[in-house]
């Protein structure tokens, strides 16, 4: 998100809080260290003599699918004495507001929904709808999808940042014509830098988490191609998958990557399931409300040259991490943290 849009969201959310009779001040903190995780924007919220100062973290959109990654981002280690983080976003639906409050993540949106709890101050408002008259942000879904694919390829193999366009396009499964525009956009937001005419990925946990959140909002939903009931659900670890055609993702992948997690939903990334697997495991189509012994099939969104990277039986750890965060389930969030610490922390260090 660019600075102008973030500033606009912040001011609208502050104005909405003022509509609840609160005194709200917005100011930049002096002396903030470049590259620190904590926000450099301070939001003071008070009512009479009660209230507190918050470090504001702006996120463009928060949904049920992206909530896990957002909360994980906001719960990074903090310094003693730092103000609590306040999530600022455009709109929080009633179910998402309820889940944020359950996880004790304070928030405020531009519609006036909010959860604040500090120093004698308590505000909880949910169910307000956004103003339809507000200006909408134009989004090019094709470009956003290409950006997510290219960034995923770079996350899986950072050496691709310096590769020719056609090589990167092949790994990301995008048109070579889109690569220059995507790379230019990644340079503008600081994800890429160019040193001595050589591109380099600015790998950090924040980059990883930002991609996971954007993936949950974008590619993940459209990638679901089928849902099945699996008679052999309990013995999933004995299923024979051909890694060239199908790989485990989500919860079973986390288990295979040494997480202490008993899968409640199975995830396989494949263009289609083999007839042999369907017959052996007695897979039958599942209805929209079925959640017992469930297998989800998702389409791979990366190129063949990227398929050889990572574990033999699972998708790359970064995608396992993103899938776990997208569930918002506390068990899966804990597993995501374990995946990060064991598989990803060295490559994507916390700021």
What is the tens place of the pLDDT at every residue in 75-131?
765 565 678 899 999 999 999 999 999 999 999 999 999 999 987 889 999 999 886
pLDDT of residue 265 exceeding 50: yes
d(CA 338, CA 318): 12
Domain boundaries, the chain: 3-125, 141-202, 223-344
Segment 192-200 long-range contacts (CB within 8 Å, at least 24 positions apart): 192/154, 192/161, 198/162, 199/161, 199/162, 200/158, 200/161, 200/162
> At 344, phi and psi to the nearest 5?
-125, -20
Per-residue CA distances from 129 to 56, 88, 160, 181 (Å): 22, 16, 43, 35
d(CA 292, CA 282): 14
pLDDT band at 135 (very low <50, low <70, confident <90, very high): very low
**Residue 35: predicted pLDDT:** 39
Per-residue CA distances from 232 to 74, 123, 210, 235, 277 (Å): 38, 48, 36, 6, 11
pLDDT of residue 219 exceeding 50: yes
**For tokens 């409640």, what's the residue?**
264
**Residue 134: predicted pLDDT:** 42
**Tokens, residue 215:** 């993936």
d(CA 37, CA 66): 19
pLDDT of residue 341 exceeding 90: yes
**Tokens, residue 132:** 């339809």
The arrangement of secondary structure in 141-202, i.e. its CATH architecture, is Orthogonal Bundle (1.10)
**Tokens, residue 73:** 């981002």
Say what the pTM is: 0.72
**Tokens, residue 177:** 């014509």
pLDDT in tens, 40-69: 688 889 887 788 889 999 998 899 889 998
**Residue 306: predicted pLDDT:** 80
């Amino acid at each position: 998100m660019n600075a102008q849009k973030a500033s606009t969201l912040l001011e609208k959310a502050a104005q909405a809080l003022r509509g609840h009779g609160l005194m709200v001040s917005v100011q930049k903190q002096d002396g903030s260290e470049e590259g620190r995780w904590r926000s450099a924007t301070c939001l003071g919220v008070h009512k009479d003599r009660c209230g507190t100062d918050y470090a504001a973290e702006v996120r463009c959109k928060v949904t049920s699918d992206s909530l896990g990654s957002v909360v994980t981002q906001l719960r990074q280690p903090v310094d003693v004495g730092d103000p609590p983080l306040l999530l600022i976003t455009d709109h929080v639906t009633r179910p998402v507001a309820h889940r944020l409050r359950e996880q004790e993540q304070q928030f405020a949106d531009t519609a006036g929904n909010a959860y604040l709890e500090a120093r004698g101050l308590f505000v909880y408002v949910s169910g307000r709808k956004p103003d339809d008259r507000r200006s909408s942000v134009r989004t090019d879904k094709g470009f956003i999808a290409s950006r997510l694919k290219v960034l995923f390829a770079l996350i899986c193999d950072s050496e691709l940042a310096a590769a020719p366009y056609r090589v990167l396009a092949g790994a990301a499964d995008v048109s070579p014509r889109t690569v220059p525009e995507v790379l230019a956009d990644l340079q503008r937001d600081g994800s890429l830098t160019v040193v001595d005419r050589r591109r380099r990925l600015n790998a950090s946990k924040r980059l990883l988490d930002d991609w996971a959140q954007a993936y949950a909002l974008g590619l993940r939903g459209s990638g679901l191609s089928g849902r099945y009931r699996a008679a052999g659900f309990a013995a999933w670890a004995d299923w024979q998958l051909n890694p060239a055609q199908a790989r485990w993702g989500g919860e079973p992948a986390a288990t295979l990557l040494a997480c202490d997690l008993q899968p409640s939903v199975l995830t396989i990334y494949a263009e289609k399931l083999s007839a042999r697997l369907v017959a052996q495991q007695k897979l039958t189509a599942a209805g929209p409300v079925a959640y017992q012994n469930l297998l989800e099939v998702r389409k791979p969104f990366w190129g063949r040259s990227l398929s050889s990277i990572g574990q033999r039986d699972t998708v790359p750890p970064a995608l396992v991490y993103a899938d776990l965060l997208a569930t918002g389930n506390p068990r899966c969030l804990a597993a995501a943290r374990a995946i990060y610490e064991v598989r990803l922390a060295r490559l994507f260090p916390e700021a």
